[in-house]
Amino acid sequence: MAERPTPEHTTPTADHPPQGDLGRRIERRRTELGLTREEVAFRAGMAPGYLAHLEEHSTAAPDSGTLLRLAGALRTSLTELGGGHVDLPPGIGHAARAPRLSELGGQECRRLLSTHGVGRLAVSTGQAPVVVPVNYSVVDDAIVFRTRPDSVPARGAGHEVAFEVDRVDDALSQGWSVLVRGPATTVTDPDAVRRLAERAHSAPWAGGERDVWVRIEIAAVTGRRIDVW
């Protein structure tokens, strides 16, 4: 599975060494919050150049005080920043003291969907409903993804399916989810396939030969958000 590169993504070179786990997590969290390096550096009381060094160098090893300031600036925890929850499901934290559940409008649901990433596809099979994760993109107001012809996601083509995507912030006990329902079809027209290949930003992390394009029409969309007062 793969995601769309961030605007500040750089290709490893002599001037831009490969990122380490910490650098990727800092950049990812900063991007989620819509913050520039300068804004995060100001909040954390450090030079923007040093923050760039942390993001871009795999050997960077800041002290605990620096990590604590960064976690505060990025509104997350030291455990999350260090990848301590990498093998745990999201949502293991405690509920907030004053949570607020609200419904999302259609326009906001579409905006959140268009951020791309990983979603869960629900397909009805002969034995039982099955839910599988897929990497997806939104192209021409439809959800698209690549898969194998013999895979579970491919079996959704020709049927009504459900597709869900969400984001959870364990540090703040808040998040959102969007649910789409609509018909799934296999894209076979060569021009349409070429268009999807050019415009889709997500590729399967699982790798291998996955050259079947599936398109889900957004016939109905609903969403919810949990935040704090």
- What are the pLDDT digits (tens) for 181-213? 999 999 999 999 888 888 887 777 777 778 899
Q: Which residues contact 192 (CB under 8 A, 6 or more apart)?
A: 213
> 125-143: per-residue pLDDT in tens?
878 889 999 999 999 999 9
- What pLDDT is recorded for position 12? 42
Band of the pLDDT at 33, cuts 50, 70, 90?
A: confident
Q: Long-range pairs for 101-107 at CB < 8 Å and ≥24 separation?
A: 101/224, 101/225, 101/226, 102/224, 102/225, 102/227, 103/222, 103/223, 103/224, 104/176, 104/178, 104/222, 104/223, 104/224, 104/225, 106/221
Looking at the domain covering 99-228, what would its CATH class be? mainly beta
Query: Can you tell me the mean pLDDT for 32-44?
Result: 91
> What is the separation, in whole angstroms, between the first and last Cα of the chain?
35
- What pLDDT is recorded for position 4? 37
Bridge partners of residue 175, in order along the sequence: 168, 226
Band of the pLDDT at 7, cuts 50, 70, 90?
A: very low
- What pLDDT is recorded for position 95? 64
Whether 217 shows a pLDDT value over 90: the answer reads yes
- What pLDDT is recorded for position 91? 56
Question: Which fold, 21-81?
Answer: 434 Repressor (Amino-terminal Domain) (1.10.260)
Residue ranges of domains in the chain? 21-81, 99-228
pTM of model > 0.75 = no
- What pLDDT is recorded for position 111? 92
- What pLDDT is recorded for position 144? 93
d(CA 196, CA 2): 16
- What pLDDT is recorded for position 120? 95
